[in-house]
Chains A and B, each alone.
Chain A
């Protein structure tokens, strides 16, 4: 009567065994609920209108770029039609054409390599490595730098041509190239001598950080030989407001 029976002991052990998962469960539910609640307070008030604004501006940007491309084409037609008339005009036109090619204002197609960069698949990444398992703006600048080093003549990141004023910008976890919103996966088309380009990317001294994260965290990174790839013409502004030729 006074001694606990075997059945009672076993029941005690059972409830203890259940205590830990029950606590964990409760903690997770609470954590989930808490983040949901925090999110909604701020998010409901500001995020919806801000997201709408960002999307509307991105849409507007596409239409402005189309208008710009159309005006540039009209000016080109006008100039090439008059350049047949005089020697001076012809010379200037040749200079314009050459500068445009150098600056990345003409579409290019040719052989080269395609570099694919993507976030690691969630299942292969531990939570503490989240930062290492997603792609960052600096990964893209490192890849672009390696491609120029490897002799690329034209580079485009998800169809945004890389020119002298191009930048890769990161806000929160959203990436912008040439002021255009982008998200992974990234396809970097690098037109140029294939063997030299592959050699630059294979160089163990290059992109050490990306290669290590590919091997450890499962970051998506692949360089493949590709033929007849495209790099569209740069379609952004050629703002020259402060610099004057001298």
Chain B
């Protein structure tokens, strides 16, 4: 009797162990497998991918036309200067090397804030399609970095900028505004974390951003 009871207990203990482990495993896989994302997450992912592919297709179409016009102007003896100038203009915006103008949003941050949050805000703006960003009239470049500074200030590319901070982003004003202010979005999260800080997001029809220094 005593012997068989021991066997049953060990059997159950073994089963428990196996189940605990498999539960753990499935959780681990759950966090990383596309198949196991929720339908809502998957829908967002699919929308993101589709949007990205659309912008790639637009660019392919644009490049085909430019290639064709460059070819024909070379054939007619006028050279491809127009195309080169166009490319310089585009690259200057992309590399933050020239001053730009355009619609977009301004995010004003007044109160305590930190460099990681600032970097997260940049990431969110870029993700929403911002084409150019500046903080307090300092242009953000492809290699810009954010750091701590004295109280009340944050360092951008090693230069301390005092608050309040005005973050300007050029892009579609509507898309940027919705991306930043949506329910559960980055400003909503900031408002929970930095309760004494005031965040104001405004759509702008014209923003002027300087070139990178």
Binding site for B on A (CB under 8 A): 10-11, 14, 17-18, 21-22, 24-25, 28-29, 31-32, 39, 42-43, 45-47, 50-51, 53-55, 57-58, 60-61, 64-65, 67-68, 71-72, 74-75, 78-79, 82-83, 85-86, 88-89, 92-93, 95-96, 99-100, 102-105, 119, 122, 127, 130, 134, 137-138, 141-142, 145-146, 148-149, 152-153, 162-169, 171-174, 176, 179, 181, 183-184, 205, 236-246
For B103, the chain A residues whose CB sits under 8 A away are 242
In the assembled complex, the Cα of A238 lies from the Cα of B63 at a distance in Å of 11
Q: Does B91 contact A (CB under 8 A)?
A: yes
Q: Beta-carbon contacts of B1-39 to A below 8 Å, as 1s and 0s?
A: 110010011001101100110111101101110111111
Stretch at the interface among B47-55, B159-167, B190-198: B47-55
Instruction: Please give the distance in Å from B172's CB to the nearest CB on chain A.
Output: 6
Binding site for A on B (CB under 8 A): 1-2, 5, 8-9, 12-13, 15-16, 19-20, 22-25, 27-28, 30-32, 34-39, 41-46, 48-53, 55-60, 63-64, 66-67, 70-71, 74, 79-81, 83-85, 87-104, 115-116, 119-120, 123-124, 126-127, 129-132, 140-148, 170-172, 208-209
Contact B24 A127 (CB under 8 A): yes
Contact B9 A174 (CB under 8 A): no
Contact with B50, one of A43, A57, A105, A238 (Cβ below 8 angstroms): A57
Q: List 11 A-B contacts (CB under 8 A).
A: A14-B5, A51-B35, A58-B49, A64-B53, A79-B70, A92-B81, A99-B97, A138-B116, A237-B56, A239-B129, A242-B102
Instruction: Please give the distance in Å from A35's CB to the nearest CB on chain B.
Output: 8
For B99, the chain A residues whose CB sits under 8 A away are 245-246
B13's closest neighbor in chain A, by CB?
Answer: A21
Prevailing SS type, chain A contact patch: helix
Contact B39 A50 (CB under 8 A): yes
For A236, the chain B residues whose CB sits under 8 A away are 52, 56
In the assembled complex, the Cα of A92 lies from the Cα of B170 at a distance in Å of 26
Prevailing SS type, chain B contact patch: helix
Contact B39 A47 (CB under 8 A): yes
Contact with A78, one of B8, B37, B74 (Cβ below 8 angstroms): B74
Total A-B pairs, Cβ < 8 A: 276
4 interchain residue pairs of minimum CB distance: A172-B41, A179-B52, A167-B127, A164-B142
Contact with A246, one of B42, B84, B101 (Cβ below 8 angstroms): B101
In the assembled complex, the Cα of A230 lies from the Cα of B201 at a distance in Å of 39
B12's closest neighbor in chain A, by CB?
Answer: A21
Contact A100 B91 (CB under 8 A): yes
In the assembled complex, the Cα of A17 lies from the Cα of B37 at a distance in Å of 40
Contact A245 B60 (CB under 8 A): no
In the assembled complex, the Cα of A166 lies from the Cα of B125 at a distance in Å of 10
Contact A79 B45 (CB under 8 A): no
For A148, the chain B residues whose CB sits under 8 A away are 143-145
